[in-house]
Amino acid sequence: MLGTLTIHLHLPACHSLKEKRGRIKPLIARLRREFNVSIAEMDLQDKWQEAVIICAMVGNDAAQLQRSLQNVAKWVEANWPDGQIADQKLELI
């Protein structure tokens, strides 16, 4: 079973793509390290104040995958001061 979490981020303080990268890269590295997820920025790479990142996990228990990915979203909301979650979508395949 595969679980994906798509997070649309809004970064109101960014005024360049370089500044956006400087805020997104540490977030991606921290989520990869803390939650052992595969993660990448997948959309809106040319927008200064928006980003879409997707986290993926593979496992054999749908409930566990869902809980783990929900914990990722909660962590971003609670611990990432550089922006806000504009939207999120969790899918189990």
Q: What is the CATH number of domain 2-92?
A: 3.30.70.1120
Interior angle at CA 56, CA 55 and CA 62, nearest 5: 125
Number of residues that this document lists for the chain: 93
Instruction: Dump pLDDT digits (tens) for 34-43.
Output: 999 999 999 8
Total-model pTM = 0.88
Instruction: Dump pLDDT digits (tens) for 19-28.
Output: 999 999 999 9
At which residue do the structure tokens 């370089």 appear? Answer: 18
DSSP E strands: which ranges in 1-93? 2-10, 38-43, 50-58, 84-92
Rounded percentage of the chain residues whose pLDDT exceeds 90: 77
Q: Rg of the chain over CA atoms, in angstroms? A: 13
